[in-house]
Amino acid sequence: MRIFLILLFLTLSTTTVIGQFGDPYRRAKVVLKSGEQLNGEGKFKNKGYKFKENEMAKPETIAYEDIDYLSITDGNLDKRVYRFYQFNGRKKYLKLELVIPGEKLELYVYQYNINSSGAGGISFGQTVTKFYLKKPEDDKPVYMGLYEPVANQLKVRVLEYFQDCPSLIEKVENKDFRMRDGLWQIVEYYNETCGH
Distance CA 194, CA 112 (A): 31
Distance CA 67, CA 36 (A): 10
pTM of the predicted model over 0.75? yes
Would you say 46 and 73 are in contact if contact means Cβ atoms under 8 Å apart? Answer: no
pLDDT, tens digit only, all 196 positions of the chain: 444 333 334 444 333 333 334 578 899 999 999 999 999 999 999 889 999 998 889 999 999 999 999 999 877 778 899 999 999 888 899 999 999 999 999 999 998 888 776 666 677 777 888 999 999 999 999 999 987 766 678 899 999 999 999 999 999 999 999 888 889 999 999 999 986 6
